[in-house]
Amino acid sequence: MNELIVNELIKKLSPLSSEKEYVELAVDLNDISESSNKIEGLIKALLSSSLDKEKVIEQLIEIELELDHINWHYKNLKKELKQLLNV
C-alpha cells in the first residue's frame, strides 16, 4: 500500500463525512489503483516474452487473482459510497 497516496486521498475525501468511512474509501481506491498497475505489468510481461504454456497459465492466474482483489475492493467501495451519500 502506498501510504503517501492513501494519506492524500484521506485528505481529499475527509470533508465527505465526520465518520471514518472515507479512510476505507481511500484504501479501496489505492488498492484498486495498485492492482490495476500490477495487471498492466502482468499483461505487458505476457506479451513481451516467449513463455511456455505453463508460464502463460501462471500469468493468467496472477491476472485473475488481481481482478478478484479489485472486485473485492469495488464491492466494498460501492457499499461505502452508499453510506457516504446516504443512498
Tens of pLDDT along 69-78? 999 999 999 9
Residue 87 has pLDDT above 70, yes or no: no
If one compares 60 and 15, the residue with the highest pLDDT of the two is 60
pLDDT tens figures, 27-61: 999 999 999 999 999 999 999 878 888 989 999 99
Residue 19 has pLDDT above 80, yes or no: no
Q: Which positions ≥6 away from 48 have C-beta within 8 Å?
A: none
Which residue, chain included where needed, has cell 451519500? 85
Burial (CB < 10 A; 0-12, 13-18, 19+), residue 76, is middle
